[in-house]
Structures are given as structure tokens and as C-alpha cells.
Amino acid sequence: KLSQRLEAVASYIPEGSKMADIGSDHAYLPCHVVKKGVVPFAIAGEVVEGPYQSAKRQVAMEGLEEEIIVRKGNGLEVINDEEIDCITIAGMGGALIASILEDGKDKLGPTKRLILQPNISAISIRKWLLENGWELMAEEILEEDDKVYEILVAEKGDPYRPYKELHKELLLGPLLVEQNSAVFRNKWKSELDNWQRIVSQLEKAAESEETSQKRKELIEKIQMVGEVLNH
């Protein structure tokens, strides 16, 4: 059975699309959606030998070798001339996901939808999307086994609808701010507590250019996030 996290990622894959799952590990996601008949064809990409072998084994075990091609390679390099409609990248840090997209820009031509699930630092992805003309269509936040995950869905389109408060929306997610869910509130409440702890430590530390700059930044973030939570 697929994790709730990957189940949520799968729910954004448009029916009938040709997909590529980058950093696929066991290829659980492509196997699941191909078996369900959601997609007719998938590429599972892996850069590390062990996970690449796991993906091949899983696909063979499920008898899906006709539908799923497992390739070893870095990021979007595993896409050749297949017209891939939809790319999923899940279970990595946001900065790594953004760098995979940046390095693979020339492979994104036919791709209509990106479904990205960063474990941390979703802000790096939102920045990349904004700078590269991808529109954020949906955002979801969920908790599973005491971990919080965000899912960002983007489609090629007009650069993002006007941001009212750019920094806040990039950090928190414009659609997640609107949803204002319990998981979202808890996540940022605990970040806030964390920042507050650091600020009080910095206040005790010897003052330097660096500590006062850091403190100023944290106080700004605390105010920004505090406003959203108190809203």
C-alpha cells in the first residue's frame, strides 16, 4: 500500500499522461499509477545504483516492464525524446528539487505539469517556479508519521498571479496561507517557537555584525509568520 504522502502526489497526476518520476527509489509511485490505469507509460529515474536496482526489481516483480522504463541518470537526464506530460519529484529537499529542474530545463518542453513534494525548503521551489514561468495550481500540506510534507503542483502558464506579499507567500505558500489548515498552523507555530528560541540565544551571545543581522532577519520572519497565524 502506498503511503498517504505518495497517494496525495498521485492524486494530482492527470489521467492518461505520460509521466516521469525522478528519484523514484522503489518506483512505488509509477507502479501504483500504472497498475491503477491512471497512466499508460512512465519513466522511473534514479541516480544511485541501489535505488535504481530496487526500482528495476519492483517493476519486474509487478510485471510492468512494458509500461515503465527504469533508467539510471541524474535528474531529468533520464528523459530522452519521450513526450513527458507530467513530472513528479518527491521525497527530497526543495533546494535539490529546484536544482534538478534548473539543470533539466531543456527537457521540460512538452511537460505540462510538475508535481513536487519537498520534505523541507519549499520556498526554493516556489522561487524557481516564479522565475521560470510556472504557475502554482495547487498546494497541499499533510502530516504522516509525525512528519509534515508539502505538495506543490504547477503548470506552465502565466507567471504567478500577482503576489501581494512576495516574501511571505514564497515562504509559506500562497495557497496554503489561504487554506490555513491545522497542519499548516502547527508547522509554522513550531517554526516560530524555534526562531524565538534562537533569537533569545542570540540576545545572550556577544553582539557582532553577524549575530545582529541574523537576529534582525529572524525577528522579521517571526513578525511575518506571527501575523499569518494570528489572523
What CA–CA distances, in Å, run from 118 to 90, 162, 177?
A: 6, 24, 17
Residue type, 55: A
Closest to ligand SAM by CB, 102 or 227: 102
Q: Which three cell numbers stand for residue 80?
A: 530522452
Is 208 among the residues that bind ligand SAM (CB under 6 A)? no
Closest to ligand SAM by CB, 24 or 111: 24
3-state secondary structure of 1: coil
What is the DSSP secondary-structure string of 53-100? HHHHHHHHHTT-TTTEEEEE-SGGGG--S----EEEEEEE-HHHHHHH
Query: Residue 27: which region, alpha, beta or left (left: phi > 0; alpha: psi -120 to 50)?
Result: left
Q: Could you tell me which stretch among 12-20, 40-48, 60-68, 131-139 binds ligand SAM (CB under 6 A)?
A: 40-48
Strands 18-22 and 41-46, sheet pairing: parallel
Longest dimension (CA), the chain: 64
Closest to ligand SAM by CB, 24 or 124: 24
Closest to ligand SAM by CB, 8 or 171: 8
Q: Could you tell me which stretch among 47-55, 133-141, 177-185, 216-224 binds ligand SAM (CB under 6 A)?
A: 47-55
Closest to ligand SAM by CB, 45 or 174: 45
Q: Which of 46, 85, 139, 150 binds ligand SAM (CB under 6 A)?
A: 46
Q: Could you tell me which stretch among 39-47, 187-195, 208-216, 223-231 binds ligand SAM (CB under 6 A)?
A: 39-47
Is 53 among the residues that bind ligand SAM (CB under 6 A)? no
Q: Which of 74, 208, 212, 213 binds ligand SAM (CB under 6 A)?
A: 74
